[in-house]
A and B are shown apart, each in its own frame.
Chain A
Amino acid sequence: SQTIHQWPATLVQPVGSPLSLECTVEGTSNPNLYWYRQAAGRGLQLLFYSVGIGQISSEVPQNLSASRPQDRQFILSSKKLLLSDSGFYLCAWSLGRGVAKETQYFGPGTRLLVL
């Protein structure tokens, strides 16, 4: 069965510091990978998605970036965090078959607080 991991679970960082969040998927090959952000009491906003190694598409221009150095690894980064980067970051995967019922499965998330 497939599992998705995220770490760290919780992170408190000062403004202007760098960020690196990691997401890994087990039990599947060549998945589509996604990074979402959820502000407090809000819905999910898609930040980045990837259909393969080194292939990153950005949905929202901001000071965040994403990378996919390996097939099942997705990393979210920032060189300098802003207060507005605080939120709950969720990684998700899907099989990437392009069928209508393609479902995204989410990781446990990382709570980021920028002070």
Chain B
Amino acid sequence: AQKITQTQPGMFVQEKEAVTLDCTYDTSDQSYGLFWYKQPSSGEMIFLIYQGSYDEQNATEGRYSLNFQKARKSANLVISASQLGDSAMYFCAMRENVMVNFGNEKLTFGTGTRLTIIP
């Protein structure tokens, strides 16, 4: 079974609108972390936001927020007031066993969502 599922291969959004990118995950661990990365056409992976499984509040970083629903095992990325520069691939990733795997922060990535912002 896929550990990280991103069901939207591509999305088109009008500039200045908000957009939600879906991510569901599968783990039996109680302690895990969820990450979102942005990959523009240049290829570099840019860290956006992090959510810990024990965090009581949803993470926010500027225009990025994470809609974390633990019981449903979903960690959707919300981008408010989208900009043309937001056009890129977006990847959801998970780190498991955060209390066990000391010194090894292995990440499992989803297949990504290609977001295109329309002017």
Q: Which of A18-26, A61-69, A71-79, A90-98 contacts B (4 or more CB under 8 A)?
A: A90-98
Q: Is there contact, CB below 8 Å, between B43 and A88?
A: yes
Residue of A nearest to B43 (CB): A109
- Does B33 contact A57, Cβ atoms closer than 8 Å? no
A105→B44 CA distance, assembly (Å): 10
Stretch among B11-19, B63-71, B74-82, B97-105 lining the A interface? B97-105
CA of A57 to CA of B101 in the docked complex: distance in angstroms?
Answer: 13
Q: A88-B43, A98-B101 are in contact. Are A104 and B110 (CB under 8 A)?
A: no
Q: How far is the CA of A96 from the CA of B109 in the complex (A)?
A: 19
For the complex, give the distance between the alpha carbons of A45 and B41 in Å. Answer: 19
Instruction: Give bound CA distance, A94 to B106, whole Å.
Output: 10
How many residues from B make CB contacts under 8 Å with A? 32
Closest to B51 in A: A101
Q: Main SS of chain B's interface residues?
A: loop
> Known contacts A32-B104, A44-B91, A51-B104; is A103 also within 8 Å of B109 by CB?
no
B47 in complex: contacting residue of A49, A57, A98, A105, CB < 8 Å: A105
Nearest chain B CB to A4 CB, angstrom units: 10
Q: Which residues of A contact B (CB under 8 A)?
A: 32, 34, 42-46, 49, 51, 57, 59, 88, 90, 92, 94, 96, 98-109, 111
Given contacts A101-B52, A103-B35, 14 further A-B contacts (CB under 8 A): A32-B103, A32-B104, A42-B112, A43-B110, A44-B107, A44-B109, A46-B106, A90-B43, A92-B45, A98-B103, A103-B47, A106-B37, A107-B44, A108-B42
